[in-house]
Chain A
Amino acid sequence: QVQLVESGGGLVKPEGSLRLSCAASGFTFRDHYMSWIRQPPGKGLEWVSFIGGNGRTKYYADSFKGRFTISRDNAKNSLYLQVNSLRAEDTAVYYCARSRGGPYYFDYWGQGTLVTVSS
């Protein structure tokens, strides 16, 4: 069965950096676009970024261009999100999600990893 397991979250000081990981299993990873979506505490969902199966095609929401970098390692069935210059407003649960057929909707989600930015 499809499984997505995020890791790498935790408490980070403002201006710090973090690399989130998502380990995928149960499907042919390289065949799917993958995405990161975040959810601040008590708030709604925000799409962050998409990456194509070959890792060359990348999309970012305007709010996340510059400090956020998505990448993947198909040999390791893993998705990554590098976040730099963290701010308090980046505090959120970060989900990885699989897209079906292209960069469309999200048919499977991980359980998320919490990032807390605080001094």
Chain B
Amino acid sequence: EIVLTQSPGTLSLSPGERATLSCRASQSVNSNYLAWYQQIPGQAPRLLISGASSRATGVPDRFSGSGSESDFTLTISRLEPEDFAVYYCQQYGSSWTFGQGTKLEI
């Protein structure tokens, strides 16, 4: 099973700042099959990125994904108040697993 480790566990930033979230896999992720989700407390997760770097429909362009093999990054270029949430990565190259999440707080 591929284990995904997200860092940091909690990231404290202010609106307007840049956020960089990391997701590292215990082995290479086939075909860069890596997705990112945003979860606001009390709500279901929302797909942001698939295929490591493809934004889902309706996702603002301040969200970008990058990386390959076992090292992936989600970047939020300029934080808006609604971006403070928990973010999860998920790999779907070999079975399906989620990272433990990064909480982005104000």
A contact set with B: CB distance below 8 Å = 35, 44-47, 50, 59, 61-62, 95, 100, 103-112
Q: Contact between B101 and A112 (Cβ–Cβ < 8 Å)?
A: no
Total chain B interface residues with beta-carbon distance under 8 A: 21
Q: Contact between A45 and B45 (Cβ–Cβ < 8 Å)?
A: yes
Chain A residue with the shortest CB-CB distance to B92: A104
Interface string of B75-106 (1 = CB under 8 A from A): 00000000000001010100111111100000
Q: Contact between B98 and A106 (Cβ–Cβ < 8 Å)?
A: no
Beyond A106-B47, A109-B45, A111-B43, 5 additional pairs, beta carbon < 8 A: A44-B98, A44-B99, A59-B96, A107-B47, A111-B44
Q: CA–CA, A82 to B96, complex, Å?
A: 20
Known: A104-B33, A105-B90. A46 touches B44 (CB 8 A): no
A-B contact pairs, 17 of them (CB 8 A): A44-B99, A45-B88, A45-B90, A45-B98, A45-B101, A59-B96, A61-B95, A61-B96, A95-B45, A103-B96, A104-B50, A106-B35, A106-B45, A107-B50, A108-B47, A109-B46, A110-B44
Report the minimum CB–CB distance from A71 to chain B (whole Å): 19
Partner of B98, one of A46, A50, A103, A104: A46
Chain A residue with the shortest CB-CB distance to B56: A107
What chain A residues lie within 8 Å of B50 (beta carbons)? 100, 104-105, 107
Report the minimum CB–CB distance from A38 to chain B (whole Å): 11
Chain B residue with the shortest CB-CB distance to A107: B47
Q: Contact between B92 and A105 (Cβ–Cβ < 8 Å)?
A: yes
Q: Contact between A44 and B96 (Cβ–Cβ < 8 Å)?
A: no
Q: Contact between B92 and A95 (Cβ–Cβ < 8 Å)?
A: no
Q: Is B17 an interface residue (CB 8 A)?
A: no
Pick from A59, A95, A105 the residue with the most CB of B within 10 Å: A105
